[in-house]
Chain A
Amino acid sequence: KQEVTQIPAALSVPEGENLVLNCSFTDSAIYNLQWFRQDPGKGLTSLLLIQSSQREQTSGRLNASLDKSSGRSTLYIAASQPGDSATYLCAVKGYGQNFVFGPGTRLSVLP
């Protein structure tokens, strides 16, 4: 059974810092991994999807990497802004499965 964990559970940084969020999964037999952002009480906004054959994906200030063999993904946020404050979740799609989500990392970027 696939299990997804995210470290840290919460993170508070000053504006302008570069930061890294971590996602780990137990079963490396995956099709893809997707990163989402969730604002309080809202739905999830898709940020990046990395297919299993890819090593990384970039969108603006965001860069996500995938190391399938070690069961890890990182989301790198460059030059963080207060508007980046949200919960960030990763989700993994395994063989014959639907997406399994991690519990999220709650990010606060202080002005």
Chain B
Amino acid sequence: ETGVTQSPTHLIKTRGQQVTLRCSSQSGHNTVSWYQQALGQGPQFIFQYYREEENGRGNFPPRFSGLQFPNYSSELNVNALELDDSALYLCASSLSTGNNSPLHFGNGTRLTVT
């Protein structure tokens, strides 16, 4: 069983640039959620994708957008990067949107905005 994989592991960008982060979900999982984790804090929910449609969104501006592909892999895109976007971005997959489906996380992408 293949776990959740994310790429790249680290990324450095300049303020104002755009970035794309990628996630492959665990085998058999059709739901992907993205989280932002600032240093010393718990993860904050960005959005969730189920069967290629956005299925819930947290308190993040529209410059955070995403995609899910037919194979259930997903991308997180962030436009017009700001210094405060520096964080660990975590992808989690689950078997469904069911209320008792546990989350399985990847190792994250560390984004630094300078």
A70 in contact (CB, < 8 A) = no
Select which of B40, B44, B88, B105 is within 8 A of A45 by beta carbon. B105
- Report A-chain residues with C-beta under 8 Å of the C-beta of B33: 98-99
Q: Kindly state the interface size class of chain B when it binds its partner.
A: 20 to 34
Q: Give the number of chain A interface residues (Cβ < 8 Å).
A: 23
Pair A98/B48 contact, Cβ less than 8 Å: yes
Select which of A41, A42, A100 is within 8 A of B45 by beta carbon. A100
Pair B99/A103 contact, Cβ less than 8 Å: no
Distance between Cα atoms of A41 and B106 in the complex (Å): 11
B41 in contact (CB, < 8 A) = yes
Distance between Cα atoms of A102 and B42 in the complex (Å): 5
- Report A-chain residues with C-beta under 8 Å of the C-beta of B107: 42-43
Pair A34/B45 contact, Cβ less than 8 Å: no
- Sorted nearest first, the 6 A-B pairs with minimum C-beta distance are A101-B42, A31-B99, A43-B105, A44-B105, A43-B107, A49-B102
Apart from A42-B108, A43-B108, A101-B43: 6 A-B pairs, beta carbons within 8 A? A44-B92, A44-B105, A89-B43, A98-B45, A98-B56, A99-B103
* Nearest neighbor of B45 in chain A, beta-carbon distance: A98
What mask results when residues 11 to 26 of chain B are scored 1 for a CB within 8 Å of chain A, else 0? Answer: 0000000000000000
